[in-house]
Amino acid sequence: MIQSMTGYGKADTSYGGKTIHAEIKSLNSKALDLQTRIAPAYREREMELRQLVAARLERGKVELTLWVTEQDTARQAATINAAAIGSYLDQIRRLSSEHGIALQDEARLWDTLLRLPEATTAPAAEELSEAEWEAAREAVLQAIGRLEEFRQQEGAALERKFRQNLDNIQQLLAQIEPYEQGRVRQIRQRLEERLAELRGVDYDKNRLEQELIYYIEKLDISEEKQRLANHLHYFRETMEQGSGQGKKLGFIAQEMGREINTTGSKSNQAEMQNIVVRMKDELEQIKEQVLNVM
């Protein structure tokens, strides 16, 4: 069964008072285009994460996000540097006294103090343990698995739509045959009527037959019909080969388009051309959606 390149997956896991979140989403792309947003604690393992994703997801514009929320908020809080704040405050008071500047708004003063360099210190970064990395890695694997499930569901819907389009093209192809058989007789009749209008002009009937045969051969679409039928069968057969057939299906759709276009150029009847237009519409729907197939 084919797979779609569109997908989404998310997973969470807990470790040592933390919740590790992994989110991954993908859109269609000619190759694997991976973008990552990784929490600082796990950036040293970014290359391993990229390899992990590349091994499971062949194509698509993929975005991986890995972040952490602390259950213990006290561990996340920055620490006020009392020595630095005290030094800044002493300097401000001394300068205010020396220059005669009144300190009236204490709220604004504290806001200013806390914005000064080294007024607060961020919590020390913990060294990434192997156990925590395994928990983060497991979250990423679960998210990838859910994205793959999403892709399979989307792929099944695409396959149903493709089969419907292929069936419609095949039915339309069969509708051409009655017009194809009747147009030979109409061409002969039209030529004979035109020649009959040329009074007093004698013509070689054997030469007329030869010219008529040549003209009909130029308009013959039996080869195009056969090749189109083969392409329809090959498209169905390729879908059954499973994932990773998107580019191949795109090439087959292009070949189908060539045969339909040639059939249209050889169709000298309005009814046949109308059928060809409807086949083109069905094929265009396939071409639009095949870009999203793995």
pLDDT digits (tens, 9 = 90+) for 210-258: 767 676 777 788 889 999 999 999 999 999 987 788 999 999 999 999 9
- Which of 124-138, 156-170, 177-191, 264-278: highest mean pLDDT? 156-170
**What is residue 80's three-state secondary structure?**
strand
Structure tokens at 31: 């190759």
Distant-in-sequence contacts of 245-250, Cβ < 8 A, 24+ apart? 245/2, 245/293, 245/294, 246/2, 246/5, 246/59, 246/290, 246/291, 246/292, 246/293, 246/294, 249/2, 249/290, 249/293, 250/287, 250/290, 250/291, 250/293
Indicate the SS3 state at residue 116: coil
Task: Report the alpha-carbon distance of residue 26 to residue 158 in Å, rounded.
Answer: 16
β-strand partners of 120: 80
pLDDT, one tens digit per residue, over 18-47 is 899 999 999 999 889 999 999 888 989 999
Instruction: Quote the CA–CA distance of 162 and 236 in Å, as a whole number.
Output: 9
Average pLDDT, the chain: 85
The mean pLDDT value for 64-88 works out to 75
Q: How many CA atoms lie within 13 A of 151 on its CB side?
A: 31
Contact indicator for 293, 5 with CB cutoff of 8 Å: yes
Residue type, 37: R
